[in-house]
């Protein structure tokens, strides 16, 4: 991976760290049945203009660094108080995803992350053993997609990625790609029938380019996690309103609990989203809030 890719991959973290104070991580203890923790009461905030619309989260993680401080029951309590009815979850290792799904299969939509450990994040696309790992994990019969994975530029040209794309198409599994536009284009070049959920809508990809990508690739969906430019001065921006209106069936709401401290600010993040969703027409808001996720991953 070159320096440019490292910088690009760090943008989301830099933005978040500037906006919220990241809590320090404790030393991990051996995995065991955790003791429940108290979660501060947070009133559920409805979409004021659309009070009956369900809100799903198309991008959460429950990775190992969160297991001690946030046992499964506390994650469910946080989602309950934020009014999140369903969530698309992936984790490193996949055990975190499995824990949530086993607790509530109807609520948690499990994705298979192609990382055995965090070390795989930087090299998985060139490691032939990853394909065997994915095939073995899929035998569990629970995973509804592959991702969320990190992939930029020419990293998507490897034989490993070609095999993963073909595997996803054969099994009708969407790929959840934290990628730049070039990598997304290469995924479709590998197999035009693949379905891709574009994490963070490319993170910093200009809205004009996002529109071009969605126009060009009918099997491309985009989720909104960490796209802070959706709002301007607390209101839905004109550019994003135009995007949502032009592609009403292609956007999925997401938050991204990529570090443990994201769970601390989860209610505030959800409240912001409910604000801009309430500015949209009801059908469009419902698509982004829940329908498009169910269309891609099933009910």
What digits encode the pLDDT tens for the residues 249-259? 999 999 999 99
- Averaged pLDDT, 13-35: 38
pLDDT score for 48: 56
Q: Are 147 and 125 in contact (CB under 8 A)?
A: no
Q: How is the chain split into domains, by residue range?
A: 52-297
Give the Å distances, CA to CA, from 33 to 72, 112, 224, 294.
10, 23, 33, 32
pTM of the model: 0.85
Find, among 245, 198, 246, 242, the residue nearest to 219 by Cα: 198
Please give the full DSSP string across 96-136, using - where no structure is assigned.
HHHHHHHH-TTTEEEEE-S-SSGGGGGTGGG-THHHHHHHH
CA distance 272 to 3: 34
pLDDT exceeds 80 at position 36 = no
pLDDT score for 27: 34
Q: 103 or 33, which is more confident?
A: 103
Q: What is the CATH architecture of 52-297?
A: Alpha-Beta Barrel (3.20)
**Which contacts of 74-79 are long-range, i.e. CB under 8 A and separated by 24 or more positions?**
74/36, 74/37, 74/39, 75/100, 75/263, 76/103, 76/104, 76/107, 77/39, 78/39, 78/42, 78/263, 78/266, 78/267, 79/107
Q: Are 90 and 76 in contact (CB under 8 A)?
A: no
pLDDT score for 35: 38
pLDDT exceeds 50 at position 14 = no
pLDDT score for 31: 34
Share of the chain above pLDDT 90, in %: 82
- Averaged pLDDT, 205-213: 98
pLDDT score for 200: 98
pLDDT exceeds 50 at position 50 = yes
What digits encode the pLDDT tens for the residues 143-176? 999 999 999 999 999 999 999 999 999 999 999 9
For the chain, the average pLDDT equals 88
State the pLDDT confidence band at 299, using cuts at 50, 70 and 90. confident
Number of Cα atoms under 13 Å in the Cβ half of residue 186: 21
């Amino acid at each position: 991976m070159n320096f440019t890719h490292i910088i690009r991959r760090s943008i989301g973290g830099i933005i978040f760290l500037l906006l919220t104070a990241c809590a320090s991580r404790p030393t991990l203890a051996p995995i065991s049945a955790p003791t429940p923790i108290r979660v501060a009461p947070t009133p559920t905030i409805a979409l004021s203009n659309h009070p009956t619309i369900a809100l799903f989260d198309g991008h959460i993680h429950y990775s190992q660094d969160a297991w001690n401080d946030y046992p499964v029951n506390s994650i469910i309590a946080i989602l309950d108080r934020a009014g999140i009815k369903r969530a698309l979850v992936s984790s490193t290792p996949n055990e975190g995803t499995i824990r949530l799904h086993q607790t509530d299969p109807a609520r948690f939509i499990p994705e298979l992350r192609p990382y055995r450990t965090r070390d795989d994040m930087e090299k998985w696309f060139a490691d032939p053993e990853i394909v065997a790992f994915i095939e073995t994990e899929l035998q569990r019969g629970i995973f509804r997609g592959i991702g969320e994975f990190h992939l930029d530029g020419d990293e998507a040209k490897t034989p490993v990625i070609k095999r993963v794309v073909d595997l996803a198409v054969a099994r009708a599994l969407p790929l959840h790609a934290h990628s730049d536009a070039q990598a997304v284009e290469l995924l479709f070049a590998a197999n035009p029938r693949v379905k891709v959920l574009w994490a963070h809508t490319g993170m910093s990809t200009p809205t004009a380019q996002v529109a071009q990508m969605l126009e060009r690739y009918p099997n491309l969906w985009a989720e909104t996690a960490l796209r802070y430019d959706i709002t301007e001065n607390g209101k839905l921006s004109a550019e994003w309103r135009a995007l949502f209106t032009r592609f009403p069936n292609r956007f999925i709401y997401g938050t991204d609990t990529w570090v443990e401290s994201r769970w601390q600010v989860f209610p505030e993040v959800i409240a912001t989203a409910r604000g801009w969703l309430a500015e949209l027409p009801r059908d469009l808001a419902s698509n982004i809030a829940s329908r498009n996720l169910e269309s891609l991953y099933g009910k």
